[in-house]
Structure 1
Amino acid sequence: MEKNNQTTTTAEPGKKELIITREFNSPRELVWKAWTEPAMIKKWWGPKGYTCPSCEVDFKTGGKYFFCMRSPEGKDFWSTGIYKEIAPMERIVFTDSFADEKGNVVPATHYGMEGFPLELMVTVTFEDHNGNTKMTLKHIGIPTGEITDMTNVGWNESFDKLDESIK
């Protein structure tokens, strides 16, 4: 377990899940909007140095999202998923898949990566905590090992950007 800047990360050996808890010095409504409004998502989606040039959100149960994450070298990585559960201001559950530029689900090998299932599941919860917002992300299906470490870094760098975007 690693603690850094009000962040706790847990990745149990052999378990295909990553859990990240982060406390933001912002109201829950603002952290919620950062996950649900395209203009806000574009400000933080992707690790340090990455941008989000395209973000489409049909934010309802059964609705779809379709995001582009652009690397500093200009390579685009597309992702898509379906919102499975939305409990306003409390929880968002959605699938997570790699996609091509048209929104079709593709295997990770499309981007030169191995070992990912076609679909992963993400749950994000939001709680009031000591006047701040405690957000917990659970990413289920992540392959163990180096990919978990890279995913952990990517999410945490994204959350650093999220934090900056809501100050």
Structure 2
Amino acid sequence: MSNPVVIDATPGQSYADITREFEAPAVAVFRAHADPEFFKSWIGPRGYETRITDWDFRTGGGYRFEQGGEEGTFGFRGVFHTVRENELIIQTFEYEGAPDEISVDVIRFEELPGGRSRIVDHSVFASVDALETMMQQGMEVGMREGYEQLDELLAAGR
């Protein structure tokens, strides 16, 4: 059984707090976010292929990736504002299909007992509508399926 993604989005607010636990240490979960080859193998919904077009994982660096599936190809980009190894990523996130709707994500990697870990993500959107649109367009499904794929890779020793 997979650990659930918990998205706490208060109606009328433009932010969401997202938590997810993993049966792996924080160093492994952080590496899955830092390494572009690893990242593209789990990010997003099942059935989508991810192609990294830009990846500079460092404070002040940036990224861009595309995901393709039956519904077409979708581009995403952002800037890594702060990277603290195995501990913290502060980044922007923009779906290119909704330009100017950028979220700022503060992602913390926490160690838990027994070699487990937790991601705590505070995601701030430009408006209440922007967050609601992301939720309606399947944010929860993409996160849940992506983290399930990450669980499978980590369990296989990746």
Residue 45 of structure 2: which of 39, 47, 60 is its match? 47
> CA separation of 1:18/1:48 partners in 2, compared to 1, >3 Å: closer, same or farther?
farther
Aligned residue pairs, count: 149
1:84 aligns with 2:68: no
- The whole-number CA distance in structure 2 between the counterparts of 1:68 and 1:11 is 26
TM-score (norm 2): 0.83
Aligned-pair distance for 1:50? Answer: 1.5
- Does the Cα contact within 8 Å between 1:95 and 1:121 map onto a contact in 2? yes
CA offsets 1:75-127 (integer angstroms, 9 cap, x no match): 1111111111111111101111133xxxxxxx517xxxxxxx43211121101
Change in Cα spacing, 1:17 to 1:152, as seen in structure 2 (3 Å) is farther
Matched AA of 2:135: T
In the aligned structure 2, how far is the partner of 1:5 from the partner of 1:79?
26
Partner of 1:14: 12
- From 93, 96, 110, the equivalent of 1:96 is 93
Cα deviation, residue 139, structure 1: 2.1
| TM-score relative to the length of structure 1 | 0.79
Corresponding position: 1:159 with 2:147: yes
3-state SS of 1:86 partner: strand
Partner residue, 2:124: 140
> What are structure 1's unaligned runs of at least 5 residues?
100-106, 110-116
2:5 and 2:143 in contact (8 A); partners too: no
Structure 1 segments, 4+ long, off by >6 Å, are none
RMSD: 2.1
What's the secondary structure of 1:47's corresponding residue? coil
Counterpart secondary structure, 1:160: helix
The correspondence for 1:108, drawn from 90, 98, 102, is 98
Separation in structure 1 between the aligned mates of residue 88 and residue 55 of structure 2, nearest angstrom: 16
Aligned AA (2:6): T
Relative to structure 1, the CA distance from residue 148 to residue 30 in structure 2 (aligned partners, 3 Å threshold; closer, same or farther) is: same
For residue 126 of structure 1, give the secondary structure of its aligned residue in structure 2.
strand
CA contact (8 A) 2:91 2:105 kept: yes
Counterpart in the other structure of 2:72:
75
State the shift of 1:14 in Å. Answer: 1.0
Distance 1:5 1:42 in 2: 21
CA contact (8 A) 1:124 1:135 kept: yes
> Is the aligned partner of 1:121 residue 2:119?
no
Q: Which runs of 5+ in 2 are unaligned?
A: none
